[in-house]
Amino acid sequence: MGSRWTGMFSSFLFLAVPVLGVATFAVAPAFNIWLPKDVSSHGATIDSLFMFILILTGIVFVITEGLLFWFLWKYDAAKATGPATYVHGNHTLEVMWTVIPAGVLLFLAIYQMNTWANVKMRRPAMAPTLEVVGRQFEWRLRYPGRDGTLGTPDDLFLVNDLHVPVDEDILIQLKSMDVLHSFFLPNLRVKQDAVPGMKIPVWFKATQTGQFDIVCAELCGWGHYKMAGQITIESRKDFNAWLESMYAKQEATQPEPAAVALAQ
């Protein structure tokens, strides 16, 4: 059934899967279609974990797809002579290909626990740097005022324009006013859903200055695509200057602090 030509062509088609698959991943970084620049202190461990899994799965991918090609090539009924091998399995092989992957997977699971704990569980002991509140379709930011505490009348309110100092622990209190959002900073390897009714801590430390995207990564309605913000990472000096200019701007339009006591 089927000519040798069909078998050869089909085998090569299946060989093309690992060849082009590996090629795609090899070429992608040259076109900048790859992990975006990382400017966080914890991002390197996430990226290296990604690369580690990529290499590990890449090896399994090439071996299994390669074997599939080789078996199709070699055991094509139009080419191989004699009857098929009459065998129902092999106990040793079954044990081997159960135990070895089990060990590898368990190793992977345990290996990454520390990174996860660092990023999501070991929250720095400090007062929140600011509060970020998701809302259809913008990021509302609330910085503490000159008194340094959140939730007082001199708090600073901004939209979509997040500034943080470089090389310092940043602790964000993440909230949502309406539906689910997800606070995604691709260059800082940060992503956390904002859930109405919950106050979720998010922390990171930026290692380089620059301006980067804030993306909403959880469907929040028709305008989800445009729920964009910008994070500006700057030196402590620039950050202080920016903060001061914002305070000054706010105070210029504000009555004396005593008159706003009702705000809290």
Partner 1 sequence: MATATSSSTLVTGSALAVSPNRPAPKPRPVMEFLSTYVFSKDHKVIGLQFLFSTLLWFLIGGLLALAVRWQIAWPWSDVPVLGKLFAQQGGQMAPEFYTMLFTMHATVMIFLVIIPILAGAFGNFLIPLMIGADDMAFPTLNMLSYWFMWPAFLFFGASFFVEGGAASSGWTSYPPLSTNVAAAPGSGWGQTLWLLGLTMVGVSSMLGSVNYMTTIILMRAPGMTMFRLPMTIWAMFITAVLQAFALPVLTAAGFMQLADRTIGTGFFSPEGNMVNNALTSTGGGQPLLWQHLFWFYSHPAVYIMILPAMGMVSDIMTCFARKPLFGYRPMVYSIAGIAGLGFIVWGHHMFISGMNPALGMTFMVSTMMIALPSAVKTFNWLGTVWGGRIQFTTAMLFALSFVSMFIIGGLSGIFMAATPVDIFIHDTYFIVAHFHYVLFAGTAMGVWAAIYFWFPKMFGRTMNEFWGKAHFFLTFIFLNGTFFTMHILGAVGFPRRLADAYHYETFHHLQPLNAFMTWCAIGMVASQIIFAINFFWSMFFGPIAGRNPWRANGLEWAAPSPPGHGNFDFQPVVYRGPYEYSVPGADKDYLMQTDPPNAAAAALAAAP
Q: Tell me the two tokens of residue 92.
A: 């040793």
Q: Which is nearer to partner 1, 37 or 146 (CB)?
A: 37
Site for partner 1 (CB under 8 A): which residue of 55, 80, 159, 263? 80
Taking contact as CB under 8 A, which single stretch among the options 162-170, 177-185, 233-241, 244-252 is the one that binds partner 1?
Answer: 177-185
145 near 156, Cβ under 8 Å?
Answer: yes
- Smallest distance, Å, CB 250 to partner 1? 25
Tell me, residue by residue from 88 to 107, as one string, x for binding to partner 1 by CB under 8 A and - for no binding: xxx--xx--xx--xx--xx-
What phi and psi values does residue 31 have, to the nearest 5 degrees? -95, 15
Site for partner 1 (CB under 8 A): which residue of 143, 203, 212, 239? 212
- Nearest 5°: the CA angle 62, 63, 65 is 65
CA-to-CA distance for 184 and 213, rounded, in angstroms?
8
17 near 65, Cβ under 8 Å?
Answer: yes
192 near 206, Cβ under 8 Å?
Answer: no
**Residue ranges in 191-210 that form contacts with partner 1 under rule CB under 8 A:** 191-198, 200
Q: Which is nearer to partner 1, 57 or 149 (CB)?
A: 57
Site for partner 1 (CB under 8 A): which residue of 108, 127, 241, 260? 108
Site for partner 1 (CB under 8 A): which residue of 124, 127, 225, 260? 225
Q: Tell me the two tokens of residue 227.
A: 């729920």
The reply on whether position 218 binds partner 1 by CB under 8 A is: yes
Site for partner 1 (CB under 8 A): which residue of 84, 248, 252, 261? 84
Q: Tell me the two tokens of residue 224.
A: 């989800």
187 near 162, Cβ under 8 Å?
Answer: no
CA-to-CA distance for 67 and 57, rounded, in angstroms?
15
Q: Which is nearer to partner 1, 120 or 236 (CB)?
A: 120
Largest CA distance in the chain: 97
- Smallest distance, Å, CB 143 to partner 1? 23
Site for partner 1 (CB under 8 A): which residue of 126, 155, 226, 237? 226
Q: Which is nearer to partner 1, 154 or 194 (CB)?
A: 194
Environment class of residue 182 by beta-carbon count within 10 Å: exposed (0-12), middle (13-18) or buried (19+)?
buried
**Residue ranges in 243-262 that form contacts with partner 1 under rule CB under 8 A:** none
